[in-house]
Amino acid sequence: MTMEKLSFLELARKRRSIRKYQDKPVEREKLRLCLEAARLSPSACNSQPYKFIVVDDKNVRDNLAKEVFSGICSICKFASKAAAFAVIVLQKQNFTARLGNKIQDIDFRQVDIGIAAEHFVLQAEELGLGTCHIGLFNKKKAAEILKIPKNYRAELMIAIGYPDENPKERAKKNFDDIASFNKY
């Protein structure tokens, strides 16, 4: 079986947040390719202020899901059915990037994580995997279970698996509503 090669815009148009997953493990090689795409993403001053922890062991995954998607975070319980998670851990930047944060009054690590995560999910889409970015989860429990050092924190999760749904394309704003040339 050969996979059809999509253009970038076709791939971006096709990608959806998946909330229903097949009961099927994701091959480690596919997860590695997603991680490589994230590794190649640009970051402020090339600081790459993150680490991806992939959770694909069923016991660890089930325990993590039970703990991080409880209480107020139970709205994201759908992700418990994903075959794997990528937990993105916020780390320190290099000096130049930290200086840029101060001057610009922004934490570029958040931007960098978003870029890396999107590279990850677009690579997953190309490989036939479904993903969903998850920001609402118990970060303290995630840190405890995954043994994340105290001076770092779990910032974002990505649910990963084979989709068991095909959501319709969501309406997007018109081009002129999100972009202009030379002035607002």
User: What's the pLDDT tens digit per position in 88-126?
Assistant: 999 877 788 878 878 888 888 999 999 999 999 999 999
Q: Tell how strand 84-90 and strand 153-161 pair up.
A: antiparallel
CA 108, CA 87: separation in Å to the nearest integer? 18
Q: Per the confidence metrics, is the pTM higher than 0.75?
A: yes
Let me know the angle formed at the C-alpha of 152 by 148 and 156, rounded to the nearest 5 degrees: 85
Mean pLDDT confidence for 31-48: 95
Please tell me the class of the 16-165 domain: alpha beta
In the chain, where are the structural domains located?
Answer: 16-165
What interhelical angle do 28-39 and 108-126 show, nearest 10? 140
Residue 3 binned pLDDT confidence (cut-offs 50, 70, 90): low
